[in-house]
């Protein structure tokens, strides 16, 4: 009986030992799995923070002036920074110092094997990235500007011209040139939009045009306190000439064509004016070919009224978009005389659109990609002239994608502003 009891006790001891060993093994497996998951979570946090840390190095001056978040970097620099942050977090923290030299206690066993950064698609000269930044900024930028103090503006005459071929060739819009004839054909074919149509158009298009009007100078509104290469910046965005004065002349020509079409439409739709035109045409042509004569008389009258409109706009006055008897200024009898004058005639009613509102109409019909690229041109020129002589927007990025591999894991991130 004693032997049987001892045998039973021995068997129980062996069985309990086996259970204990199994529990220890299972506990070890749980610890390993937990450390594996914790290590992955810790590494994920480190890499995500590393990416955000790189984004925090955005150019403050570029953001303050144009609302653009961008970092100046390349793929090699970004990779080195991620390696630095990872190496510091994996090897030089306090816990690692305590267990240095005893790897078997390092349950995380984290080690950066490789890192690859891809900047493709994030360059600030990419119109999609640039447009997204503008739209993000304008979501609160309009409210911010309305709450801020109103800025003072002063008109400036300028004959600034860009002649440096190296700078010209480095501009983001290099290769995109404007064509007055094709641009105006597009306006005529699509119809001249009113401000109501522009404001009711898609939000994105409206916000981009408002960004342009708020951040760039024009012929009627120029900062005396801010350094810019061109004075007629919005005009440059519309026409793309490297001469300041030429840009304004080209925009003035566009406005002349636009207003001339509208004024001619009014003459032909107003019975009183139409009768006056036909009467003068009949006298000039002795009733022979008066129909053709009427066309010339109507065009001359419309052109005189159009020139008067532009002189009003240049003096900061308003001009009605669609004319009526109250806002028509030049009489038919004074058409030829007016063309020799330097002053303008004031209509009875001065209500209408100012110069900037007509610029909005031209921006509305301009090619979106061309507008964005020329905005980039101005940003590059002004940043180069005001802050960094070697500033090149092509070297700035609004985010990046990177892939890292540790001893046991692979992580992929997309970081952008």
Please tell me the predicted confidence (pLDDT) of residue 148: 52
Dihedrals phi, psi of 218, to nearest 5 degrees: -145, 180
DSSP state for residue 173 in the 8-state scheme: T
Percent of the chain with pLDDT over 90: 51
Q: Is the pLDDT of residue 352 over 60?
A: yes
Neighbours of 228 (CB within 10 A): 19
Q: Is 92 exposed, middle or buried (0-12, 13-18, 19+ CB in 10 A)?
A: exposed
The answer to whether position 407 is within a domain reads: no
* 347 lies in the same domain as 377: yes
Please tell me the predicted confidence (pLDDT) of residue 164: 76
Helix pair 290-314, 271-285: axis angle to 10 deg = 120
The answer to whether position 115 is within a domain reads: no
Q: Is 50 exposed, middle or buried (0-12, 13-18, 19+ CB in 10 A)?
A: buried
Please tell me the predicted confidence (pLDDT) of residue 384: 93
Token reading at 120:
């493709």
* 104 lies in the same domain as 132: no
Give the dihedral sign, CA 185/191/196/202. Answer: negative
* 47 lies in the same domain as 11: yes
Dist. CA 399–CA 55, nearest whole Å: 7
139 — pLDDT class (breaks 50, 70, 90)? confident
Dist. CA 316–CA 146, nearest whole Å: 22
* 154 lies in the same domain as 38: no
Q: Is 164 exposed, middle or buried (0-12, 13-18, 19+ CB in 10 A)?
A: exposed
The answer to whether position 269 is within a domain reads: yes
**pLDDT tens for each residue of 9-34:** 566 666 666 676 666 666 655 555 55
Please tell me the predicted confidence (pLDDT) of residue 173: 80
Kindly provide the b/e burial profile for residues 174-203, where b requires at least 16 CB atoms within 10 angstroms of the residue's own CB: eeeebeeeebbeebeeeebbeeeebeeeee
The answer to whether position 114 is within a domain reads: no
Closest CA to 78 of 400, 405, 390: 400
Mean pLDDT, to the nearest integer, of 255-273?
Answer: 94
- Contact (Cβ atoms closer than 8 angstroms) between residue 219 and residue 236: no
CA distances, 124 to each of 97, 191, 222, 375 (Å): 42, 33, 26, 11
- Contact (Cβ atoms closer than 8 angstroms) between residue 304 and residue 335: yes
* 79 lies in the same domain as 182: no
CA distances, 322 to each of 116, 200, 260 (Å): 60, 19, 11
Please tell me the predicted confidence (pLDDT) of residue 183: 54
Q: Which residue would you say has higher pLDDT here, 252 or 341? A: 252
- Contact (Cβ atoms closer than 8 angstroms) between residue 258 and residue 322: no
Pick from 44, 76, 108: which residue ends a domain? 108
The answer to whether position 119 is within a domain reads: no
Dist. CA 306–CA 257, nearest whole Å: 8
H/E run at residue 411: strand 410-416
Please tell me the predicted confidence (pLDDT) of residue 282: 85
Q: Indicate the number of domains in the chain.
A: 2
Please tell me the predicted confidence (pLDDT) of residue 43: 81
Tell me the pLDDT of the chain averaged across its residues: 81
Say which residues have a Cβ less than 8 Å from residue 385's Cβ, sequence separation at least 6: 227, 228, 229
Pick from 74, 108, 142: which residue ends a domain? 108
The answer to whether position 52 is within a domain reads: yes
Mean pLDDT, to the nearest integer, of 95-121?
Answer: 66
382 — pLDDT class (breaks 50, 70, 90)? very high
Say which residues have a Cβ less than 8 Å from residue 248's Cβ, sequence separation at least 6: 219, 232, 235
The answer to whether position 58 is within a domain reads: yes
Q: Is the pLDDT of residue 2 over 50?
A: no
* 238 lies in the same domain as 98: no
Pick from 108, 141, 169: which residue ends a domain? 108
* 64 lies in the same domain as 144: no
Closest CA to 203 of 128, 120, 301, 135: 135
* 80 lies in the same domain as 215: no
Q: Is the pLDDT of residue 250 over 90?
A: yes
* 252 lies in the same domain as 387: yes
pLDDT-wise least confident of 68-82, 179-193, 392-406: 179-193
Q: Is the pLDDT of residue 205 over 70?
A: yes
Q: What is 339-383 written as a DSSP string?
A: HT-SS-PPPS---SB-HHHHHHHHHHHS-HHHHHHHHHHHHHHHH
- Contact (Cβ atoms closer than 8 angstroms) between residue 59 and residue 71: yes
* 95 lies in the same domain as 160: no
**Which of 67-71, 218-222, 279-283, 404-408 has maximum average pLDDT?**
67-71
Q: Is the pLDDT of residue 105 over 60?
A: no
Closest CA to 235 of 213, 257, 256, 214: 213
Please tell me the predicted confidence (pLDDT) of residue 152: 45
150 — pLDDT class (breaks 50, 70, 90)? very low
63 — pLDDT class (breaks 50, 70, 90)? very high
Mean pLDDT, to the nearest integer, of 282-308?
Answer: 86
The answer to whether position 239 is within a domain reads: yes
| Host domain of residue 276 | 127-395
Percent of the chain with pLDDT over 70: 73
* 102 lies in the same domain as 175: no
pLDDT-wise least confident of 88-92, 112-116, 395-399: 88-92
Three-state SS letters, 278-317: HHHHHHHHCCCCHHHHHHHHHHHHHHHHHHHHHHHHHCCC
Please tell me the predicted confidence (pLDDT) of residue 223: 53
* 297 lies in the same domain as 241: yes
- Contact (Cβ atoms closer than 8 angstroms) between residue 212 and residue 130: no
CA distances, 27 to each of 104, 146, 286, 360 (Å): 17, 64, 114, 71
Q: Is the pLDDT of residue 155 over 50?
A: no
Mean pLDDT, to the nearest integer, of 344-358?
Answer: 93
Dist. CA 6–CA 84, nearest whole Å: 64
**pTM here?**
0.80
């Amino acid at each position: 009986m004693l032997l049987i009891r001892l045998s039973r006790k021995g068997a129980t001891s062996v069985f309990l030992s086996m259970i204990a060993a199994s529990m220890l093994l299972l506990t070890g497996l749980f610890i390993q799995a937990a450390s594996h998951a914790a290590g992955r979570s810790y590494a994920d946090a480190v890499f995500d923070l590393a990416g955000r840390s790189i984004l925090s190095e955005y150019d403050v001056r570029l953001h303050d002036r144009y609302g653009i978040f961008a970092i100046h970097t390349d793929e090699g620099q970004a990779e080195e920074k991620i390696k630095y942050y990872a190496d510091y977090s994996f090897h030089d923290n306090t816990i690692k110092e305590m267990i240095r030299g005893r790897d078997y206690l390092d349950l995380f066993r984290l080690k950066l094997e490789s890192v690859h950064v891809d900047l493709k698609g994030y360059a600030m000269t990419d119109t999609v990235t640039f447009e997204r930044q503008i739209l993000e900024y304008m979501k609160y930028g309009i409210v911010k500007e309305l709450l801020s103090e109103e800025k003072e503006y002063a008109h400036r005459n300028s004959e600034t011209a860009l002649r440096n071929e190296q700078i010209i060739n480095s501009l983001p819009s290099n290769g995109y040139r404007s064509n007055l004839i094709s641009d105006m054909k597009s306006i005529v074919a699509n119809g001249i939009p009113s401000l109501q149509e522009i404001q009711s158009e898609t939000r994105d298009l409206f916000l981009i045009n408002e960004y342009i009007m708020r951040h760039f100078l024009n012929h009627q509104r120029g900062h005396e306190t801010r350094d810019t290469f061109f004075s007629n910046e919005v005009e440059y965005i519309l026409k793309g000439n490297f001469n300041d004065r030429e840009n304004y002349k080209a925009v003035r020509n566009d406005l002349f064509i636009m207003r001339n079409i509208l004024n001619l439409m009014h003459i032909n739709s107003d019975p009183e004016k139409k009768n006056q035109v036909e009467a003068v045409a009949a006298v000039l042509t002795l009733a022979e070919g008066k129909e053709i004569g009427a066309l010339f008389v109507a065009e001359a009258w419309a052109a005189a009224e159009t020139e008067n409109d532009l002189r009003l706009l240049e003096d900061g006055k308003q001009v009605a978009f669609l004319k009526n008897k109250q806002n028509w200024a030049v009489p038919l009898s004074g058409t030829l005389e007016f063309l020799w004058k330097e002053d303008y005639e004031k209509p009875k009613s001065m209500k209408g659109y100012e110069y900037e509102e007509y610029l909005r109409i031209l921006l509305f019909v301009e090619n979106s990609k061309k507008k964005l690229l020329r905005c980039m041109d101005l940003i590059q020129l002004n940043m180069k002239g005001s802050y960094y002589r070697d500033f090149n927007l092509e070297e700035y990025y609004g985010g990046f994608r990177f892939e890292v591999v540790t001893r046991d894991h692979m992580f992929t991130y997309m970081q952008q502003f």
